[in-house]
Amino acid sequence: MALNNKIEELKKRKEQIEKGGGDKAIEKQLAMGKMTARERVDAIVDENSFQEYDMFVQHDARDFDMDKMTLHGDGVITGTGMVNKRPVSIFAQDFTVAGGSLGSMHARKITKIMDHALKMHMPLIGINDSGGARIQEGVNSLAGYGDIFFRNTISSGVIPQISVILGPCAGGAVYSPALTDFVFVVDKISKMFITGPEVIKTVIGEEISMEDLGGARVHSEITGNAHFFAGSEAECFEQIKKLLGFIPWSNTEKAQKLEPKDPDKRYRIDRIMPSDPKQPYDVRDVIRAVVDGSDFFEVQELWAANAVIGFGRIHGETVGFVANQPLVLAGVLDVDSSDKIARFIRYCDAFNIPLVTFVDLPGYLPGIDQEHAGVIRHGAKILYAYSEATVPKISVILRKAYGGGYIAMNSRHLRADYVFAWPSAEIAVMGPEGAANIIFRKEIQSADDPEKMRALKVNEYKDKFANPYVAASRGYVDAVIEPLETRKLLVHALSVSVNKVQQIPHKKHGIPPF
């Protein structure tokens, strides 16, 4: 056969494989409002930059008539491509081929691209759209999952790992996304659960729809398993690209520096916060008032909204922001917000992203449910994460910093590099009302007019302690600053921290309060 004919044959073979599960299956995929695996990959990478590998891989299952079945690409597309001219590794499960089910060769393709991403120090993007284990392949399918989970864990903190849930992702399969850094979900399309509605109905007798059990909204608002929620696949891919713009390609690099930009002048930092510490405001406006172009990219916006985390740039450099949100639950720390903050700190620390923390919280959320849910253990994660982090750590205390919350939110005591406080800061062991009720209990009780006495004592306490100067007199606060100076000081603090060296004792690893 002449070479030309052989090339023709190659083209034919590729064409066949590129059809995935065939026209009918593709039609079904599109009817569900979903894109095909190939369309998804193309939508993420720069035009014509995708190179596929292992296209001709075939499964080797023999039982249950599997030997008579050809599964194109074994139900997954793997390869490398460019995102904004920077290399990424991608795999995309193809639901049109045997429901994207994971067999041993399918898994081997995924682990091969994972190994490649780790070796080449580039991000891994995994698009999940699969009915789960390929039952016909039995324990080999489980082995495949195990091999993926192992690599997710080993790569964690070395290269960024992004999971995109664009279809079902159920049973053991959910643990791969759970082990990765960021999980993207799309409304009405993503479904994640350990046991599905049918099993729950049989075993527990409770009826629930897939959407209510593990839809995109549930994981974005209630469980916190997802980090980014999108209304469509196209929006989701834009979010992925935006995230990639903020983060470095591996733990040995720093994030790309861009041209510095001034914040939008509409965000007047001195006019956002009400002076009454009991009145709310949106702390994200404070962040927007200090970041380049007022472009703040929030992570887990809908979950545990009493804390805010996300990325922004200061003078061109990527910064991870952590803030209490007085607008929601008064900005208290609780089980969920502690988990949210702690994991984000560890992410930023692993990838050399400096941390800026805005503090305004009354303390921890009181409640039996919180105590019984282990708020002690969860709250401890924040202390652990800040203490352990060696990236530049800067705090700005805006208003309330009471009690344990003050210590936890990147205080000097956890080795913050810079602690700034606005003149409105109240750094104290607790709020004036609570403190006065304890310290002056006798005076209040024995007074002719206890309420009048209480108000008097609360004011007395406020005057003396509800300010930044007591903490500043001890050197716990480095500088008391005007709100309008905030960005200038952040730029200064970050630029004098570029050569920060901080050693922690050598250890195999710590034992964080997971």
Partner 1 sequence: MMTKKNQYPATALVVDDSTYNTLLTEKYLRRKKWQQPDNRKITAFLPGTVREVLVKKGDAVKAEQTVIRFEAMKMVNNVQSSINGRVKEIYVSAGDRFSKGFVLMELEQETA
The sign of the dihedral angle between the CA atoms of 254, 156, 184, 84 is positive
Distance of alpha carbon 409 from alpha carbon 333, whole angstroms = 10
Least gap, CB of 306 to partner 1 (angstroms): 7
Q: In the complex, which residues of this chain contact partner 1 (CB under 8 A)?
A: 203-206, 221-222, 266-268, 272, 274, 277-282, 284-285, 288, 305-306, 326-332, 336, 362-369, 372, 402-403, 430-435, 437
Least gap, CB of 276 to partner 1 (angstroms): 9
| Displacement of CA 43 from its chain's centroid (Å) | 22
Question: Three-state SS for 150?
Answer: helix
Nearer to partner 1, 354 or 362 (CB): 362
Which of 221, 216, 186, 183 is closest to 301 using CA atoms? Answer: 221
What are the φ/ψ torsions at residue 161 (nearest 5 degrees)? -125, 125
Nearer to partner 1, 104 or 300 (CB): 300
Q: 97 is written with which tokens?
A: 């081929």
Nearer to partner 1, 69 or 199 (CB): 199
Least gap, CB of 278 to partner 1 (angstroms): 5
Which of 295, 337, 345 is closest to 157 using CA atoms? Answer: 345
Q: How would you classify the pairing of strands 161-165 and 124-128?
A: parallel
Please give the biggest Cα pair distance in the chain. Answer: 109
Nearer to partner 1, 206 or 259 (CB): 206
Distance of alpha carbon 100 from alpha carbon 130, whole angstroms = 4
Distance of alpha carbon 322 from alpha carbon 311, whole angstroms = 9
Per the document, the length of the chain is 514
Least gap, CB of 347 to partner 1 (angstroms): 23
Nearer to partner 1, 53 or 267 (CB): 267
Least gap, CB of 164 to partner 1 (angstroms): 25
Nearer to partner 1, 184 or 402 (CB): 402
Least gap, CB of 328 to partner 1 (angstroms): 5
Nearer to partner 1, 79 or 403 (CB): 403
Least gap, CB of 444 to partner 1 (angstroms): 12
| Displacement of CA 93 from its chain's centroid (Å) | 23
Question: Three-state SS for 89?
Answer: strand
Nearer to partner 1, 131 or 331 (CB): 331
Nearer to partner 1, 144 or 483 (CB): 483
Q: What angle do CA 126, 17, 35 make, to 5 degrees?
A: 45
E strand or H helix that includes residue 165? strand 161-165
Distance of alpha carbon 401 from alpha carbon 204, whole angstroms = 45
Least gap, CB of 35 to partner 1 (angstroms): 31
Least gap, CB of 375 to partner 1 (angstroms): 12
Nearer to partner 1, 181 or 285 (CB): 285
Find out whether 353 and 247 touch, Cβ atoms under 8 Å. Answer: yes
Least gap, CB of 241 to partner 1 (angstroms): 24
Least gap, CB of 333 to partner 1 (angstroms): 10
Find out whether 249 and 123 touch, Cβ atoms under 8 Å. Answer: yes
E strand or H helix that includes residue 313? strand 307-314
Distance of alpha carbon 60 from alpha carbon 108, whole angstroms = 12
Amino acid at 205: G
Nearer to partner 1, 42 or 336 (CB): 336
Q: 444 is written with which tokens?
A: 């209040």
Q: In the beta sheet, which residues pair with residue 156? A: none
